[in-house]
Amino acid sequence: MNINRLSNFGFLIGAGLLAGAGCGGDDGADSGELPDASNGNGNGNGNGSIVEVSEDIESDTTWGGDDTYLVTDEIDVEARLTIEPGTLIEFEDSAGLEVDSSGILVAEGESGNPITFVGTEASPGWWNGIFFTAGSNHVDNALDHVYIADAGGDSLRRTSDASVIITSDAQASITNSTIEDGAGYGLFVFYDGELAAFEENELTGHEEAPIRSGTIHLHHFDAASAYTGNGADVVIGGHTGPSVNDQTVEGDDRTWQDLGVPYELRADTRVVDVFLTLEAGTELRFATDTGLRLEDGAGIEARGDGDGEDERVVFTGTESSPGWWDGVQLRDAPQSASIIEHALVEYGGADSLGVAEEANVSVGRDTDLEVRDAVIRESANHGVWVSEDATINEDVCTANEFSGNDGDDCAGET
């Protein structure tokens, strides 16, 4: 995006202090002498003021018109901040917006007329980003048709660098937006935060991954969004909750879409009383000593469209080593619709945690599952293990392809 940043002109004309609703163009600047403050999309006529924002927002406030807003510090939003379509906001080094428990951020641009958040320098991490803090859970928090760049700078009050952070007991929606060229991650959502909506976004150019999130939020991420061009083109789940060893997916049934990039699961993922559908083409990569555990009424449909790399569902490790991760494990999961078909399961078999025997696919007590037309290979123990109290297709040992498993390809209790 072509941005006419204030730094392009080498000087600042005027410094208005924003404190109140409805800021106009009379904040300490001679508008006739201002350079063009357009955001590069044909917005603004170059006649607005440069409004310096250096104090917290404590009353309902609107940013808009032809003004360019220069944020010089970490600003706490403690009231309702509404930003109009076409508004340009620039941030000095280490500046940012923190939406507090009493604050609301409504940044809703329009197609062809987005709201722009950028640094005064085009450098990843130049400014800190937008941070929805604990308790900022108003349903109106929204980023729609916005452009965010140069963010993700360091802040001692955050657990990780990201351009947009939704922390514990906070919520926001992000739609039709571009978040790019940031330090760290594009978006970071805590396990107990809430992503109210996520649709048709682009996250690219980040030094880490586009997204890091609690696994409970992975169903929000849509195939219509773009996640490539980052340091690591994966969507990271786990390692952000109350315990890094346990990320529980519970509540409504959900679908993890084929995003065109893998999901990388960095903590044990427990699916409890939820039917989890994995779209054809979905790839799950598991960090060491983690696994996918379906329990207490859960079910799974992992059904590929064929055996091609882009057609099947893939369960693999972040390293290509037998026993790198624990495997897919089911116990007390009696949903008869559960199926793994046209899938690849590899490099598991490390630890069953008492659920069953170690295997790439462990089918424990009181579980229904069908497994067919799958490739099950390179386990540190068995390929498939089945409890005597489980129900599985009788041809499981012949309807699948096995290779390289250290234990039996197909094993079970007698």
Q: Which residue has the higher pLDDT, 20 or 121?
A: 121
Tell me if 300 sits within 8 A of 275, measured CB to CB: yes
Is the pLDDT at 364 greater than 90? The verdict is yes
Of the pLDDT bands very low, low, confident and very high (cuts 50, 70, 90), residue 36 is very low
CB atoms within 10 A of CB 319: 12
pLDDT digits (tens, 9 = 90+) for 235-263: 999 864 444 446 899 999 999 999 999 99
Calculate what percentage of the chain has a pLDDT beyond 70. 86
Please check the confidence at residue 9 and state whether its pLDDT lies above 60.
no
Work out the pLDDT band at 413, boundaries 50, 70, 90.
confident
Q: What is the pLDDT of residue 158?
A: 57
DSSP conformational letter for 34 = P
Please tell me the distance from the alpha carbon of residue 296 to that of residue 305, in angstroms, as a whole number. 28
Is residue 48 pLDDT above 80, yes or no?
no
Q: Residue 338 — very low, low, confident or very high, per pLDDT cuts 50/70/90?
A: very high
Q: Which of 56-70, 71-85, 231-245 has the lowest mean pLDDT?
A: 231-245
Residues 6+ apart with CB under 8 A from 171: 132, 136, 137, 138, 139, 141, 193, 194, 195, 196
Q: What is the mean pLDDT of residues 326-352?
A: 95
pLDDT at position 307, please? 78
Whether residue 360 contacts residue 346, with contact meaning beta carbons closer than 8 Å, is answered with: yes
Q: What pLDDT, on a 0 to 100 scale, did the predictor assign at position 45? A: 35
Mean pLDDT to the nearest integer, 403-414 = 91
Tell me how far apart the alpha carbons of residues 138 and 105 are, in angstroms, rounded to a whole number. 9
Tell whether the model's pLDDT for residue 83 goes beyond 80: yes
Q: Is 111 helix (H, G, I), strand (E, B) or coil?
A: coil
Instruction: Give the residue among 379, 407, 383, 255 at the shortest CA–CA distance from 317.
Output: 379
pLDDT tens for 262-289 read 999 999 999 999 999 999 999 999 999 9
State the Cα–Cα distance between residues 202 and 357, nearest whole angstrom: 42
Nearest to 341 by CA among 314, 363, 316, 374: 374
Please check whether residue 40 is in contact with residue 21, taking contact to mean a CB–CB distance below 8 angstroms: no
- Main-chain dihedrals φ then ψ at residue 219, nearest 5 degrees: -70, -15
Predicted confidence band of residue 309 (pLDDT cuts 50, 70, 90) = confident
**All residues at 6 or more sequence positions from 11 whose CB lies less than 8 Å from its CB, including other chains:** none
- Of 43, 1, 2, 49, give the one whose Cα is nearest residue 24: 49
Contact 6, 50 (CB under 8 A): yes
Share of the chain above pLDDT 90, in %: 79
Residue 6 has pLDDT above 70, yes or no: no
Radius of gyration of the chain (CA): 25
Short-list 370, 362, 355, 364, CA closest to 405: 362
CA 111 and chain centroid, separation: 23
Q: Comparing 93 with 240, which gets the higher pLDDT?
A: 93
Edge-to-edge strand ranges of the sheet holding 202-204: 16-17, 50-53, 68-71, 88-91, 115-119, 146-149, 178-180, 202-204
Q: Which residue has the tokens 């540190």?
A: 380
Please give the structure tokens belonging to residue 131.
Answer: 């941070």
Instruction: Determine which of 90-104, 147-161, 169-183, 306-320 has the lowest per-residue pLDDT on average.
Output: 147-161
Sort 121 into a burial class: Cβ within 10 Å, 0-12 / 13-18 / 19+. Answer: middle
- pLDDT tens track for 201-228: 999 999 999 999 999 999 999 999 999 9
Mean pLDDT of the chain: 88
Distance in angstroms (rounded) separating the CA atoms of residues 376 and 383:
6
Q: What are phi and psi of 364, to 5 degrees?
A: -85, -170
Q: How many CB atoms lie within 10 A of CB 218?
A: 27
**Largest CA-CA distance found in the chain, in angstroms, rounded:** 88
What pLDDT, on the 0 to 100 scale, is given for residue 7? Answer: 61
pLDDT tens-digit map of 139-178: 999 999 999 999 999 754 556 799 999 999 999 999 999 9
Q: Which of 392, 318, 372, 382 is nearest to 351 (CA)?
A: 382
Model confidence, pTM: 0.89
Confidence of residue 293 (pLDDT cuts 50, 70, 90): very high
Residue 103, pLDDT score = 98
Q: Which residue has the higher pLDDT, 289 or 22?
A: 289
The confidence score (pLDDT) of residue 14 equals 35
pLDDT of 24 above 60: no
Task: Tell me how far apart the alpha carbons of residues 47 and 216 are, in angstroms, rounded to a whole number.
Answer: 47
> In angstroms, rounded to a whole number, what is the distance separating the alpha carbons of residues 387 and 357?
9
Side chain identity at residue 84, one-letter code: E
